[in-house]
Amino acid sequence: MNELDIYKKQNFANRVGLGHRPALITVDFVLSFTDPEHFGGGNITDAVQATVPLLAAARAQGWPIAHTRVVYADDGSDGGAFTKKAPGLLKLTETSPLSRLVAEMDPQPGELIVRKRQASGFFGTDLAGWLTWHGIDTVLITGCTTSGCVRATVVDAVSHNYRTIVVTDCVGDRAMGPHEANLFDMGQKYADLMTRDEILAHYGVAG
C-alpha cells in the first residue's frame, strides 16, 4: 500500500466545494517575499503573476478582497516566539519597503489590509469578523509561503468553518519540496485544491 492509498482508505481528501459568496485573500505578497535576498525565491514570483488575473476578476465581480502583510514595531518590541525562529522578520515594519505589497497587488479602496505578527492571517486580527460581516462562505487563498503563512491561514480558515480553497497556481514557496508537500497535505485534510482557471470557470468569470 502506497502513501496515497493510506489516505484513501482512511477517507481523506473529500471535497468541500465552492459556495455562493467567495472572498479572495492574498497572503504576504510583499516585496521581501519576492526577493531571494530576503525571504523570496522558488516559485513565488510566478504565483504573483498568476494571481493578477484572479485579483482583477474578483474586483470586477465585487468579491471582498483582503491582503495580509507582516508588520512589527520599529523597535521589535512586539516580536515573539515566531521571530525567535526567524528574527529577520523583525525588519518588516510599517514603513519598511520590504513589508509593502508588490505593485501588482496594490490595494484599491474597500479592500482590507490585514497587519499580522504571526503566520496566520486570522491570528490576532479582525479578518474573521470582516469575512462574517460580508457573509462569506468561501475563501480563495493565494500568496506565500505555501508551507508557512498560507498553510497557517488555511488551517485557521477551515477552523472557522469556511469552505477553504487553495488556488494552486497562485501560491508559492522559496523551495519546491515544502511547496509540493504542503499542497498535498492541505488537499488531504484542510482545503480543496483548484487552479485559478477552474475557479473562474465555476463562477462563470473571465480571467
What number is the average pLDDT over the span 187-199? 98
pLDDT class for 34, splitting at 50, 70, 90? very high
Task: Give the model confidence (pLDDT) of 181-190 as tens digits.
Answer: 999 999 999 9
Q: Which domain holds residue 126?
A: 19-202
Please indicate, yes or no, if residue 1 is contained in any of the structural domains.
no
Render pLDDT for 150-179 as a digit per residue (tens, 0 to 9).
Answer: 999 999 999 999 999 999 999 999 999 999
Which residues belong to the active site?
149
Q: What does the alpha-carbon distance between residue 12 and residue 192 come to, in Å, rounded to a whole number?
A: 11
**CA separation for the pair 124, 144 (Å, rounded):** 19
Residue 36 maps to which CATH number?
3.40.50.850
pLDDT reported for residue 162: 98
> Average pLDDT, stretch 36-48?
96
What pLDDT score was predicted for residue 206?
A: 73
Asked whether residue 1 carries a pLDDT value surpassing 80, the answer given is no
Q: Kindly state the cell numbers that stand for 183.
A: 499542497
pTM: 0.96
The residue with greater pLDDT, 48 or 2, is 48
How many structural domains comprise the chain?
1
Q: What integer best gives the mean pLDDT of the chain?
A: 97
Q: Return the pLDDT at 143.
A: 98
> Over 90: is that where the pLDDT of 3 sits?
no
pLDDT value of position 207: 65
Per-residue pLDDT of 99-156, as tens digits, reads: 999 999 999 999 999 999 999 999 999 999 999 999 999 999 999 999 999 999 999 9
pLDDT in tens, 68-103: 999 999 999 999 999 999 999 999 999 999 999 999
pLDDT at 131: 98
On whether residue 2 sits in a domain, the answer given is no
Residue 112: inside a domain: yes
| High-pLDDT (> 70) share of the chain, % | 99
pLDDT-derived band at 2, boundaries 50, 70, 90 = confident
Would residue 72 count as lying in a domain? yes
